[in-house]
Homo-oligomer: A and B are copies of this chain.
């Protein structure tokens, strides 16, 4: 099969992906790059564009699986690095896999650990073999290689696995970025070879830092591989907003049309709208859940900080246009009280609302694409 990358004909090494995941583009927006898609996984269908709440340690913080189902969550992200260290992948495998362990019946994507290892700083060392690191929990020494990360994700039984990559810090020199990205490509090929489960999709990850030509090179190297989808990593790591948008847009434009595109770790509602217009299909970010626990709540009228005195007697819900359980039953005054009193229920209700806001935003985006208005809708007030 021949695909075009910026007009350059590239021969792919396989004619199709082979992991049982099916991705169909149902509709393309005529004014933007936005696409409405349908991703069929071993645990069900995901309508894209879709947002994945982050369940780092096998739990989306303060949410039960039924809470997530209620707000329309289609898939969640869990983290290979964290689950490998605790409770250990053998435990989860022997108990029937991550879905059964978490009590979550819908699709799961597992991150490879590249981002977490990047966050470890001095505790890790990267070699061609893989990442040597010390556990943030007990200091024990570990090696995560592309093969091992693939094996762990197969044992976890996620629907979508990610290749091991290096998430390059920002700023990084051109030379370091080039060498790292080349290694990420080699790791990707090793990941593919190690991957055996036919009921699990495998996504490649595009790195290349803030250098457009290195992003281009990375894409050119990666798209011949029969990955079921491609993620764009290494963004949202401290770079300027303009750079994030420019690199994100540039890289999306290089990726093959027919496979899903996942923009990792990004971000704010306005970032998601822009990214959908660039043609991204999948997103994850801790922002809505972390903000929730810190009392920063999203609404159609903008963000609010629930601890502000102005809400102390405010009988309105967080968002009058939201129909989540939190907004149907609780006032800003009560939520402020719970937050200031340190009540766990504040984290529960706030997270439920913020994630509902994100899922409603994605639903609005899907509707806008269906109606060919993705260039102008949805609008948010910030």
- Interfacial residues, chain A to chain B (CB-CB below 8 A): 57-59, 61-66, 86-87, 91, 94-96, 101-103, 312-313, 315, 325, 329-331, 333-334, 336-338, 340-341, 343-345, 347-349
Return chain B residues, CB-CB under 8 Å to A329: 65, 103
What is the chain B residue whose CB lies nearest that of A60?
B345
What is the chain B residue whose CB lies nearest that of A336?
B87
The contact sample of 18 A-B pairs, CB cut-off 8 A, is: A57-B337, A57-B341, A59-B341, A59-B343, A59-B344, A61-B345, A62-B344, A62-B348, A86-B340, A86-B341, A87-B336, A91-B312, A91-B333, A95-B315, A101-B333, A103-B329, A103-B334, A348-B348
Nearest Cβ in chain B — how far from A84, in angstroms?
A: 13
Q: A91-B313, A325-B66, A345-B64 in contact; A102/B57 too (CB < 8 A)?
A: no
Nearest Cβ in chain B — how far from A313, in angstroms?
A: 6
Contact of A64 among B96, B312, B325 (CB under 8 A): B325
What is the chain B residue whose CB lies nearest that of A329?
B103
Contact of A343 among B57, B101, B325, B349 (CB under 8 A): B57
Return chain B residues, CB-CB under 8 Å to A94: 313
Return chain B residues, CB-CB under 8 Å to A333: 87, 91, 95, 101
Return chain B residues, CB-CB under 8 Å to A343: 57, 59, 61
| Supplied contacts A64-B345, A91-B313, A348-B348, 19 more A-B pairs, CB within 8 Å | A57-B337, A58-B337, A58-B338, A59-B345, A61-B344, A61-B345, A64-B348, A87-B337, A91-B333, A95-B313, A95-B315, A95-B334, A96-B315, A101-B331, A101-B334, A101-B337, A103-B329, A103-B334, A344-B347
